[in-house]
């Protein structure tokens, strides 16, 4: 890491409240940890990675995509017509882990439903834009096939969070277990495909290294679950201890289903915050790909009438993430909007949660904004139809 980016890291970490007062960013796991198999950056998803590589090399992906299309609900039988090794693999993985606690998952679903407007806002404008300053993720997303159609991709990726928060997500009639398994297949395909992309290889920090390691997935989890939890705490959104634990549990199950090994999954919010400090904060940085993606994403939201100007949206992103990130992404300033957000947003939440009796200035503006963003999610980011998750057969051409 260059000294400049390390400085950025520190200031950003402080801004996000993720770095301790001493400004110490713990180092990433050591080479000896890698050798011992205890480093998530050197752990992938070996069994399915091998299976998908074989299917890709044999040209079998279109047939697999056709077969998995009608397979949607958790209680659907596995599709017929899959290669034998893929069927055998899915028979093992397409279920909740033994440690999943259904009561916690139900409480998490109920909590998510009650707080959904904040969640949409935070996943969409917070995590979504943060993903563009996670260099390895931004480069992978940009140079994979889906990077060429951000509208479609944003719809599919952001609805992952929504599917996770569906009341029935983990129930037999729900869809989350299947969605997560399909995503796991997509990630396995991407691990085989991206290293063949000359564009990705030219910009990858370590071109020989396979993308989407367990470490990368943990980073993304912290940009989603841990970030959202922290913001809701910061914003004093009322949460019971049981709800907080349940929310973490739903994410623990989600990342397990995406192939993260048990020993890397944080067991408490304290452990998650510590891991986030270690693996997320130090790596945030701007890239060409990330800037393009951020512009695409914010342009996408600008196409919908959110009742606010693009300047207001820029300032909201700055407020939720930090000015450092806003500067990296060249988000044009609107100081009047910034002032309104700084005082109006906390008051809006307090009023909405029944913590203050008087309706604050700007209430309707914020209310329309969060409702419009929720609608954007519920309508799959403006796509007229839900696009099923499909396994890519190639990379972004250029």
Instruction: Give whichever of 52 and 186 is closer to ligand HEM, judged by the CB atom.
Output: 186
Minimum distance, C-beta of residue 212 to ligand HEM, in the bound complex (Å): 5
Judged by CB, which is closer to ligand HEM: 152, or 353?
Answer: 152
Burial class of residue 172 in the structure, from the number of CB atoms within 10 Å of its CB (0-12 exposed, 13-18 middle, 19+ buried): exposed
Q: Which residues, 284 to 323, sit near ligand HEM by CB under 6 A?
A: none
**Who contacts 259 (Cβ-Cβ below 8 Å, separation ≥6)?**
44, 45, 48, 184, 187, 214, 217
Binding to ligand HEM (CB under 6 A) within 148-167 occurs at 153, 156-157, 160
Nearer to ligand HEM, 265 or 337 (CB): 265
Determine contact, residues 332/314, Cβ cutoff 8 Å.
yes
Q: 102 is written with which tokens?
A: 């259904």
Is there binding between residue 39 and ligand HEM (CB under 6 A)?
Answer: no
Q: Does 190 bind ligand HEM (CB under 6 A)?
A: yes
Count of residues near ligand HEM by CB under 6 A: 26
Distance between CA atoms of residues 71 and 73, nearest Å:
6
User: In this complex, which beta carbon is closest to ligand HEM, that of residue 8 or of residue 395?
Assistant: 395
Of 293 and 389, which CB lies nearer to ligand HEM in the complex structure? 389
What is the distance, to the nearest Å, from the Cα of residue 320 to the centroid of all Cα atoms in its chain? 15
186 binds ligand HEM (CB under 6 A): yes
Find out whether 117 and 371 touch, Cβ atoms under 8 Å: yes
For ligand HEM, the closer of residues 202 and 359 by Cβ is 202
Tell me which stretch binds ligand HEM (CB under 6 A): 83-91, 135-143, 324-332, 365-373.
135-143
Q: Which pair of tokens denotes residue 99?
A: 């440690």
> Considering the rule CB under 6 A, would residue 45 count as an interface residue with ligand HEM?
no
Residue given tokens 């954007």 in the structure block: 376
DSSP letter (8 states) at residue 30: P
192 is an interface residue for ligand HEM by CB under 6 A: no
Q: Is 175 in the site for ligand HEM (CB under 6 A)?
A: no
The interaxial angle of helices 310-320 and 335-352, nearest 10 deg, is 60
Residues 50, 178, 138, 323, CA torsion sign: negative
Residue 98: CB atoms within 10 A of its CB come to 5
Helix, strand, coil percentages (3-state) for the chain, rounded to 5, are 65, 0, 35
Residue 248 as a binder of ligand HEM (CB under 6 A): the answer is no
Check residue 253 for interaction with ligand HEM (CB under 6 A). Answer: no
Q: Which of 124, 126, 146, 266 binds ligand HEM (CB under 6 A)?
A: 146
Taking CB under 6 A as the criterion, which residues in 370-389 touch ligand HEM?
A: 389
Interface residue list for ligand HEM (CB under 6 A): 136-137, 140-141, 144-146, 153, 156-157, 160, 183, 186-187, 190, 211-212, 216-217, 220-221, 224, 255, 258, 389, 392
């Amino acid at each position: 890491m260059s000294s400049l980016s390390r400085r950025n890291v520190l200031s950003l970490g402080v801004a996000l409240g993720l770095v301790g007062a001493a400004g110490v960013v713990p180092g990433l796991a050591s080479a000896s940890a890698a050798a011992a198999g205890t480093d998530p950056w050197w752990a992938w998803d070996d069994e399915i990675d091998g299976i998908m590589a074989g299917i890709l090399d044999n040209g079998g992906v279109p047939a697999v995509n056709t077969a998995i299309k009608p397979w949607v609900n958790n209680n659907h039988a596995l599709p017929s017509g899959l290669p034998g090794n893929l069927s055998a693999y899915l028979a093992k993985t397409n279920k909740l882990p033994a440690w999943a606690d259904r009561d916690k998952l139900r409480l998490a679903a109920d909590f998510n439903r009650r707080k959904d407007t904040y969640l949409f806002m935070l996943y969409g404008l917070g995590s979504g834009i943060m993903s563009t300053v996670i260099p390895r993720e931004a480069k992978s997303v940009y140079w994979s096939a889906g990077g060429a159609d951000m509208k479609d991709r944003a719809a599919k990726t952001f609805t992952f969070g929504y599917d996770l928060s569906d009341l029935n997500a983990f129930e037999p009639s729900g869809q989350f277990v299947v969605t997560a398994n399909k995503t796991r297949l997509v990630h396995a395909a991407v691990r085989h495909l991206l290293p063949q992309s000359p564009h990705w290889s030219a910009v990858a920090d370590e071109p020989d290294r396979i993308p989407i390691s367990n470490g990368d997935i943990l980073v993304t989890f912290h940009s989603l679950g841990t970030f959202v939890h922290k913001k809701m705490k910061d914003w004093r959104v009322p949460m019971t201890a049981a709800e907080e634990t349940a929310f973490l549990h739903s994410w623990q199950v989600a990342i397990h289903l995406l192939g993260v090994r048990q020993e890397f999954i944080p067991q408490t919010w304290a452990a998650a915050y510590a891991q986030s400090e270690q693996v997320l904060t130090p790596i945030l940085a701007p890239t060409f790909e990330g800037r393009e993606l951020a512009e695409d994403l914010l342009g996408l939201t600008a196409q919908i009438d959110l009742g606010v100007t693009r300047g207001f949206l820029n300032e909201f992103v700055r407020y939720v993430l930090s000015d450092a990130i806003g500067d990296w992404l060249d988000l044009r300033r609107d100081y009047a909007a910034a002032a309104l957000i700084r005082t109006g947003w906390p008051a809006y939440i307090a009023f909405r949660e029944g913590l203050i009796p008087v309706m604050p200035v700007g209430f309707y503006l914020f209310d329309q904004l969060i409702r419009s963003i929720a609608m954007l999610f519920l309508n799959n980011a403006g796509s007229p139809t839900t696009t099923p998750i499909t396994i890519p057969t190639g990379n972004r051409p250029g």
